[in-house]
Amino acid sequence: MTLVQALFVVALIAVLLAVIGFATVVVAGAARGGAGSFVTPALLGRMVRSPAERAEVDRWAFYAHRISGFAVFAFLALHVCDVGLYGLSHRLYDQVHQLYGTAPLRLFECGLLFGILFHTLNGLRILAIDLADLRVVTARRLLAGAFALTVVLALLGSVVILRPVLG
């Protein structure tokens, strides 16, 4: 591994730790505030209530939207740096981009794809709710649709991303 590749791996680990840290802060803030949803043994009980009795799913969608947005932004910052290497040296750029063909980075790209898709589709759902003044039931159906579409598209995209390293 070259020095520039090692630096990129360190930067990628820093980005992943920042995302984990941000997610921890979001969930801890919800637990500390008492107004948001948080992980406790009673979570399952809260999740199975009727939609009219809870807003649990909406809060988790909000948290996931914040976390996925931060994750996409954090990787984008790293991506701008690695693409910027092209202006410094084509050789350094090529060295870093060889890492993108490895299995660990392809798995990371699958996670990134999931985050981008969820953030995009949930953002469109939020936009539809704001513009069309949708009812709670319709908003929850849109959330279920956004999540299902995210999973399907992310799995299909992951097959394409992982194909070179798996077969």
pLDDT at residue number 16: 94
Interatomic CA distance for residues 18 and 12, integer angstroms: 10
Mean pLDDT of 86-108: 93
Contacts of 54 (CB under 8 A, 6+ apart): 46, 47
pLDDT at residue number 40: 62
Exposure pattern of 125-157 as b/e (b: 16+ CB <10 Å)?
A: bbeebeeeeeeeeebbebbeebbeebeebbeeb
Domain residue limits at 117:
3-166
The number of folded domains in the chain is 1
Interatomic CA distance for residues 154 and 118, integer angstroms: 9
Mean pLDDT of 41-53: 62
pLDDT at residue number 135: 85
pLDDT at residue number 34: 60
Model confidence at 31: pLDDT above 70: yes
Q: Which helix (H) or strand (E) holds 45?
A: helix 43-47
Query: What's the CATH code of the domain at 18?
Result: 1.20.1300.10
What token pair was written down for 89?
A: 């040296």
Model confidence at 161: pLDDT above 70: yes
pLDDT at residue number 74: 94
Model confidence at 39: pLDDT above 90: no
pLDDT at residue number 99: 92
109-143: pLDDT as tens digits: 999 999 999 999 999 999 998 898 888 888 889 99
Q: Which residue has the higher pLDDT, 132 or 155?
A: 155
Q: Taking all residues of the chain, what is their mean pLDDT, rounded to a whole number?
A: 88
Model confidence at 49: pLDDT above 70: no
Least confident of 38-52, 78-92, 99-113, 149-163: 38-52
